Amino acid sequence: MADINRNLVVNVLRTCPVMSRADLSRATGLSGPTVSSIVADLTSRGLVQDLGQGLSSGGRPPFLVRLNDKANYVIGLKLMGHAISLVVTDLSATVMYAQVTPLVGPAAAMPDQKARPPVPRDPGSIIDAVCAAIDTAVSSSGVDVGRLIGVGVGINGTVDATTGTCRLSPTFNWKNVPLARPISDRLGHPVILENDANTLAAAEQWFGRGAGVDTFIAVAVGAGIGSGVVVNGQLYRGTDGAAGEFGHVQLSDTGPLCSCGRVGCVEAWASDRAILRDIHAAIDEGRETSLGRVGNTGELTIAQVAAAAEHGDELSRQVLSQAGHYLGRGIATLMTVINPRLVIISGEGVEAGHWRFDPMMRAIESSVFPDINAEIIFAPEPLDDTRWARGAACVVLGEIFNTPTQPSLVDARLG
Ligand SMILES: [Zn+2]
């Protein structure tokens, strides 16, 4: 109970720059003496700063305190096929330091997260690279290693965050590879492994458009399609860590082959990959298109397809429209199941613009359960790797600031 009360106080302080002890008591529902005792304990450990008496508004002057968000640090990293993007943040998820470390070896030639290497990458060498990147970050950033309370690792694929096992990784061609424990054993710090779409949702929750929204979905549209789901303020992972994988909802019994090995999935109809595949196929069949004059069609990009559509290219308009329609069908399914307040759409696929997303919006409107009214917004800025890494740090922060009514994935204490 003491831990629950303490985390309750820390969590309330996190949301407010400065608070009086009386307000803290009201916000947590804890008695004045209990709050004072917890604040004294947190202050003695440097976690809370006592600001003394504030100005009175009539009665006794308030005793003001604030969270010392520089008291501890977390590390977040995005593990990609070709590089490791890493950030060190404070307890407010403010980035103190960032670095990108190239991954040497065969993965260097596989920048595409969805491209599957012909043989599984050696987990030992990847774990070595992650630990080396963290060591470099700790020494280069100058943070006190004793104040580092956890590391979050985001990876594309299916992840069992409870055991820290990567259940399936297309990027590294892995099945059931334990990652969190070996890294944690080497570093001596808690490590959380998380699906990258979930780190994106954590980023939106902590410093993005999902801040203060109890239930929302962060959709990532790019070479693949996935989402992170936050329900009642908590990341929802599902039993096997595969919650939010709506890119693999099958919309048809027949249709294009998906990266999961089945046919007719949302991703197989609607991803950037699907768009480029359909454009290439049409060009091969001799369809008239201005994209034929782009030159090497092997280097065709979504931005080029969007620009061609804008300039009247019928093929580009048709393919973007079809992809948008199926994306909308998939998102409508997800919305009907989750009933979110907000859906945030981001990823490099956003640059396809209205020729893709107007049909998506129409498909959502026509196929979502009519009682559901979620706001749908687009994140126009590109998703850089630092944002994903910062999201992985937020996953750790989310565990730390959870009121521990259920076991935390981070066996660590602040201070
Ligand atoms: Zn699939």
Centroid of ligand 1 to alpha carbon of 247 (angstroms): 6
What is the chain's mean pLDDT, rounded? 88
Output the CA 291–ligand 1 centroid distance in Å.
28
What average pLDDT does range 366-383 have in this prediction? 89
Distance CA 268, CA 274 (A): 6
Structure confidence at residue 414 (pLDDT): 58
pLDDT at site 329: 97
- Ligand 1 center to 51 CA (angstroms): 55
Region of residue 155 (phi > 0: left; psi between -120 and 50: alpha; otherwise: beta) = beta
Q: Where does residue 253 rank: exposed (0-12), middle (13-18), buried (19+ CB within 10 A)?
A: exposed
Higher pLDDT, 305 or 384: 305
Residue 90 has pLDDT above 60, yes or no: yes
* CATH topology classification for 211-378: Nucleotidyltransferase; domain 5 (3.30.420)
> How close is the Cα of 256 to the center of ligand 1, in Å?
10
Expressed in angstroms and rounded, the spacing between residue 76 Cα and the centre of ligand 1 is: 28
For the cut 50, the answer to whether the pLDDT of residue 276 exceeds it is yes
| Residue ranges of the chain that CATH labels 3.30.420.40 | 73-205+385-401, 211-378
Q: What would the pLDDT profile of 303-354 be if each residue is shown by its tens digit? A: 999 999 999 999 999 999 999 999 999 999 999 999 999 999 998 888 888 9
Q: What is the secondary structure of 88-139 as a DSSP string?
A: EE-TT--EEEEEEEEPPSGGGG--STTPPPSS---HHHHHHHHHHHHHHHHH
Residue range 73-205+385-401 forms a domain whose CATH class is: alpha beta
User: In the chain, which segments carry CATH 1.10.10.10?
Assistant: 2-67
Pick from 303, 285, 283, 282: which is nearest to 293 by CA?
283
Return the CATH number of 2-67, one of 2.60.40.10, 1.10.10.10, 3.40.50.970, 3.40.50.2300: 1.10.10.10
Whether residue 111 is predicted with pLDDT greater than 70 in this model: the reply is no
Q: What share of the chain is helix, strand, coil (3-state, %, to 5)?
A: 45, 20, 35
pTM of the model: 0.85
Q: How much distance in Å is there from the Cα of 340 to the middle of ligand 1?
A: 23
Ligand 1 centre from 245 Cα, in Å?
A: 9
Between the CA of 224 and the centroid of ligand 1 the distance, in Å, is 10
